[in-house]
Amino acid sequence: MAPHFLFLPTTTVGPPGMFDILDVLDVNFRVTRSGRAFSPWEADPISSPTFDIATAVVHAVEAAVDEDLAEPDATNVDFHPRPANPSLSGTNASNNSSHASNTPSTSPLSAPLTPRGAREKAGSKLRRAAARQAAKVREHLELLPPARRPQHIKNAGPAVKTRFNLMKERVASTGWIGLRDDGQSKQEESAGFEEPGWTPTHTLPEFFGPNASWRGFKLIKHLGPKTRPIIDATGRVFGLSGGHPEDPKWMAEVHDPAVEALEAARAQCKVSEARTYHRRGNFAPLTAGDSYGGGQTEPGALVNGVINAAVLCSLMSNVAFIRLAGFATGLFANWSPRLFEYYASRMRCFYKRYTHLRRPFLNSIWSACTFNLGPRTCCIGHRDFANLAFGWCAITALGDYDYTKGGHLILWDCKLILEFPPGTTIIIPSAAVFHSNIPIGLGERRYSFTQYTSGGIFRWIEHGFQSEEAYFASLSAEECVKERAEARSRWENGAGLFCTLDELESSSFEI
């Protein structure tokens, strides 16, 4: 556990009779260059097995209503109700004063509210608002899917149709995770071309120029905030070019603060140079949340040092990233409700059992996230094979770059190149589809925020909260054969959770 330092002044200034607290304690405090002393002691952790901070939030929201609505003394109220019709103020009001005085009004809005009536009206409004917030918190705690919004499906942009067949993709034999790639897509492998180094090198002219190296790729233009579903050869919506909410203040109130937070995090965090070189490229990542795999004996929270943990705490409490997380989850719930319910049902069981673990964002369905701090975050080709094979991963692009020239997301297996402007989100099955970025220009900045859940967590849950070795050891020979057969069909069953566009557009669609 990290030490908790207690800062104390080296001397105490006060009236006669006061004394130096350091003399009384008579301990060997260390002193900083500024002259302040701190304790070398470590604090013992204080824990309560019965206290749940998330549940307390709901109770606090509900309890706060009564306190906020405490009725003041009616004899000591200075209340000035707003005019019933603001348009009758000033000159217009004087011109209509004769008509108003001679014509009695039957509208209840024309009579000014009494102080008590105004308080009751304001109180009722506050109660309704508090009830809505408490309901939202309950939904997040219980991982309930947000209300489906048919108008979002109806108002979407034109679908992106491909010849790609998700069912034919190869994944691990267990069906839980993707195949560990060797840094090459099928196209690269067949052409004998490999991307050298730690930064992407494929540019747009290589796909669409007169001397293009790659043929058959389609460039998908950005269409503003509209979501564009990506459909495979069987008609299933397996990905989304999600755009962003139709909010004119989205960039100023969400994107820009998120970028500022990431730039501050980059300056504050401690990431070794070795960790900035990884299978996705050359940039600094900060990862938070829960995972299982890579030698873990059981699921647990991803470990970070004291400084990085503090930086991550700041990022995850930032309103901009909370809104980004919620937007991506809303896309997930609306466009793949069956897969969303698959996630939600498993995550309910998981977090009910492991109450000491927490999703990075209460309003997000995913159990882990990564902040890629750039400053020029562009990925070389890879699959995020440790994620759920048929699961969705949300990628949000942030920064300052010309999205028509660089930063595109290449979906190699689908032969798609998607424009990826700052502030927008794309969702793909990142464990199954090989993907990379077009590099951005010199002097430009690009960051990304990703959300995902490891396939190992789902396997752990399905195996009765135990490892694969322990699970198979508990089975009979006949049960082992049956489990192997289920593993072969798991990928197809999982991919079958994706919906067709016709299903999503139908008013009678049910999960």
Distance from chain centroid for Cα 64? 28
- pLDDT value, residue 211: 84
Which long-range contacts does 301-305 make (Cβ < 8 Å, 24+ apart)?
A: 301/357, 301/358, 302/368, 305/270
CA pair distance 186, 209, nearest whole angstrom:
21
Peptide bond into 229 cis (omega under 30): no
Q: Please tell me the distance from the alpha carbon of residue 408 to that of residue 244, in angstroms, as a whole number.
A: 16
Cα Rg of the chain, angstroms: 29
Q: How far lies 211's CA from each of 138, 205, 214, 407, 441, in Å?
A: 57, 8, 9, 21, 21
User: What does the pLDDT look like over 142-178, one tens digit per residue?
Assistant: 676 666 677 888 889 999 999 999 888 878 888 999 8
Nearest to 262, CA basis, from 302, 312, 303: 312
Q: pLDDT digits over 307-366, tens only?
A: 999 999 999 999 999 999 999 999 999 999 999 999 999 999 999 999 999 999 999 999
Q: pLDDT of 198-236, one tens digit each? A: 788 889 999 998 888 888 999 999 988 999 999 999 999
What 3-state class would DSSP assign to 155? Answer: coil
129 assigned to some structural domain: no
Same domain flag for 234 and 370: yes
The mean of the pLDDT values for the chain is 80
Between 243 and 107, the more confident residue is 243
CA within 13 Å, CB half, 339? 33
Specify the number of domains making up the chain.
Answer: 2
Is residue 104 domain-resident?
no
Tell me, letter by letter, the H, E, C secondary structure of 346-379.
HHHHHHHHCCCCCCCCCCCCCCEEEEECCCECCC
Residues 6+ apart with CB under 8 A from 17: none
Q: Are residues 221 and 341 in the same domain?
A: yes
Are 19 and 162 in a shared domain? no
Q: Report if residue 331 sits inside a domain.
A: yes
DSSP assignment string, 271-294: --GGGGEETTEES-EEEEEEE--T
* Phi and psi torsions of 501, nearest 5°: -65, -35
* pTM check: above 0.75: no
241: exposed, middle or buried (Cβ count in 10 Å: 0-12, 13-18, 19+): buried
Query: Please, what's the largest Cα pairwise distance for the chain?
Result: 96
Q: In the structure, what pLDDT confidence band is assigned to residue 13 with cuts at 50, 70 and 90?
A: very low
The token pair at 377 is: 């975050």
Range of the domain at 267: 150-466
Residue 79 lies in a domain: no
pLDDT of residue 129: 74
The CATH number of whichever domain residue 158 belongs to comes to 3.60.130.30
Asked whether residue 221 is assigned to any structural domain, the reply reads: yes
Note whether residue 173 is domain-resident: yes
pLDDT exceeds cutoff 60 at 44: no
Angle 464-468-473 from CA coordinates, rounded to 5°:
85
Local structure of 328: helix, strand or coil = helix
Q: Rounded CA gap, 230 and 416, in Å?
A: 10
In a domain, 416, yes or no: yes
Does residue 481 belong to any structural domain of this protein?
Answer: no
pLDDT value, residue 128: 79
Question: What pLDDT score was predicted for residue 57?
Answer: 55
